[in-house]
């Protein structure tokens, strides 16, 4: 029940801070952050959907809203005319950079400050263990851990 309580309360707290301070939902920030980590700040929409644990319809809806704000643009994939890439614009990059310090402070305050160094290490190990069963393909891992086909933009 404690895990369920954390899983219910933490996303709302992080979402509230990002909405208040950056005008972004937690999912929008996560999507922009994932693009910011990608080579050239570009990913195929399918890879971005996998990396954010989203469906393509949900991702397309959110990307459209971000496009309307000038944060992201969709471009045809140069190497595959059937695919579409999402590109983080300079305005989007600036939004991620501006939002990151407040988000990091919120995560530290809500999660890490209540733990000592050993508990942080234990939390990391517990999360890694849970992810082996929840995400066995590693869809949500940092992009530096994905294969070349998942990062391909061409």
Q: Which domain holds residue 75?
A: 2-139
- Determine, yes or no, domain membership for 149: no
Whether the per-residue pLDDT at 143 is higher than 90: the answer is no
- Tell me how many domains the chain contains: 1
Binned at pLDDT 50, 70 and 90, residue 148 comes out as very low
What CATH number does the domain containing 9 carry?
A: 1.10.10.10
**Nearby residues of 148 by Cβ (< 8 Å), 6 or more positions away:** none
Mean pLDDT of the region 125-135: 90
Of residues 80 and 22, which shows the higher confidence score?
A: 22
pLDDT tens track for 14-25: 999 999 999 999
At residue 142, the pLDDT reads 58
Residue 95 included in any domain: yes
What sign results for the dihedral spanned by CA atoms 85, 101, 146, 54? Answer: negative
pLDDT digits (tens, 9 = 90+) for 14-58: 999 999 999 999 999 999 999 999 999 999 999 999 999 999 999
| DSSP reduced 3-state for 9 | helix
Cβ neighbours of 104 (radius 10 Å): 11
pTM of the model: 0.84
Q: What is the C-alpha to C-alpha distance for residues 107 and 62, in angstroms, rounded to an integer? A: 23
């Amino acid at each position: 029940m404690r895990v369920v309580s954390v899983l219910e309360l933490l996303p709302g707290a992080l979402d509230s801070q990002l909405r208040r301070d950056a005008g972004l939902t937690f999912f929008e920030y996560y999507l922009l952050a994932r693009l910011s980590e990608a080579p050239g700040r570009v990913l195929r929409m399918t890879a971005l959907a996998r990396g954010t644990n989203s469906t393509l319809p949900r991702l397309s809806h959110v990307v459209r809203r971000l496009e309307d704000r000038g944060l992201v643009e969709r471009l045809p994939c140069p190497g595959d005319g059937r695919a579409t890439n999402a590109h983080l614009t300079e305005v989007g990059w600036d939004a991620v950079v501006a939002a990151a310090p407040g988000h990091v402070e919120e995560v530290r305050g809500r999660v890490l400050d209540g733990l000592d160094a050993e508990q942080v290490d234990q939390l990391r190990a517990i999360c890694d263990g849970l992810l082996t069963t929840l995400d066995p393909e590693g869809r949500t891992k940092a992009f530096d851990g994905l294969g070349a086909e998942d990062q391909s933009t061409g």
